[in-house]
Amino acid sequence: MDHLTAGEYWNGNAEAWTKLARAGYDVYRDHLNTPAFLAMLPPVAGLRGLDLGCGEGHNTREVARMGASMTAIDISEIFIRHARSEEARAPLGITYHHVSAVELPFAGNEFDFATAFMSLMDIPETERVIAEAFRVLKPGGFLQFSILHPCFNPPHRKNCRDEENITYAIEVGDYFIDARGQIDEWTFAIAPQSVRGQFPKFQVPRFHRPISQWVNLLVAAGFVVERCEEPVPNDETVRNWPILQDAQVVAYFLHIRVRKPGAG
């Protein structure tokens, strides 16, 4: 499977994903993953940024609100249509492009930084995306991205719960298995059945890589690893959103920031 075929799956997910996420059902994003990502992000006010795989634009808008001048791209035409519609409704100066992250239509050394919120793991040609990000960044610029944590989201994963439905362990396996192209079907679990029943399940191509592969691809592209984080919800967050309790048992997400060497 290549990025074009993967993009067709995401275009098929985009309508339901946009409606459900904007209705507040993507709680792992809204109350754990994105807040942690933004807390890790260096100051971006006054900088020019590129968001890779922006989806319907939620996270791009959050970075723009931090003062960055944002350009964003996605391979899904439907996602870009929804993102542009929201920009027209509430302008933040964001420019959206319907293109693939594998083939960026930008000059070299054009951006001060790039972000990729939970998107790089969905692109089979990962090394090409990382190389493209390196190319369009100015010397001294950084790329910060989030992915599903490879250790705790491999091809085999089982949530182990006790009699009170509390997660006490995550069973994992097949960490080194090449399951790239496997299709996972799921939806946002917190959405009521009456809502979930209105939409088909998401079909998400899986392109799992061990952590060593991610690090080696970054180093091979020329990046220097600067920081990494594994977001965990605090007790107050779990009291407000009990579904996030399992994210206190293992790290579901991995955040990495790398920098292009040079003056900055």
CATH of 3-148+210-259, one of 3.10.20.30, 3.40.50.150, 2.60.40.2470, 3.90.960.10: 3.40.50.150
What is the DSSP annotation of 224-240?
A: EEEEEE-----HHHHHH
**CB 34 within 8 Å of CB 229:** no
Q: Percentage of residues in the chain with pLDDT exceeding 90?
A: 95
* Domain extents in the chain: 3-148+210-259
CA pair distance 184, 251, nearest whole angstrom: 20
- The answer to pTM > 0.85 is yes
Is pLDDT at 264 greater than 80 in this prediction? Answer: no
Is pLDDT at 179 greater than 80 in this prediction? Answer: no
> Would you state the pLDDT for residue 3?
95
Is pLDDT at 111 greater than 70 in this prediction? Answer: yes
